[in-house]
Amino acid sequence: MSLSIVHSRAQIGVDAPAVTVEVHLANGLPSLTMVGLPEAAVKESKDRVRSAIINSGLQFPARRITLNLAPADLPKDGGYALAHPMDGAPIRKPMDAGTDF
């Protein structure tokens, strides 16, 4: 199991309250679940996130992924799709055997 956190902002009029995007990676059947009152557009971002990760040459984990948008009582719409793949714990870039660091 692993937990990773990315900080973002919501837009409510002229206010920009803090939103925390938490990604929990657990053993289990591969799935991607979003919790924390996400709007329909944010829920649809699950497919865009998966496509963007795979097309970038990264490996999408074959594990159970839970995305939590906190605080739960804050309405959320907009660009949280970027925060999901930015979260480094659940996504691993394949490494070549001959790569030097």
pTM: 0.66
**Domain assignment present for 96:** no
Q: What count of other Cβ atoms lies within 10 Å of the Cβ of residue 38?
A: 20
What pLDDT score does 21 carry?
Answer: 83
Containing domain of residue 55, as a range? 2-86
**Domain assignment present for 43:** yes
Could you tell me the pLDDT band of residue 8, with boundaries at 50, 70 and 90? confident
CATH of the domain at 75: 3.30.230.10
What pLDDT score does 38 carry?
Answer: 61
**Domain assignment present for 82:** yes
State how many domains the chain has.
1
**Domain assignment present for 99:** no
**Domain assignment present for 100:** no
What pLDDT score does 46 carry?
Answer: 76
CA distance 4 to 78: 21
What pLDDT score does 77 carry?
Answer: 64
3-state secondary structure of 33: strand
Render pLDDT for 9-61 as a digit per residue (tens, 0 to 9). 888 888 888 888 888 889 999 888 888 766 676 667 777 777 777 787 877 78
Is the pLDDT at 75 greater than 80? The verdict is no
**Domain assignment present for 95:** no
**Domain assignment present for 101:** no
Is the pLDDT at 91 greater than 70? The verdict is no
Contact 20, 70 (CB under 8 A): yes
What pLDDT score does 101 carry?
Answer: 45
**Domain assignment present for 53:** yes
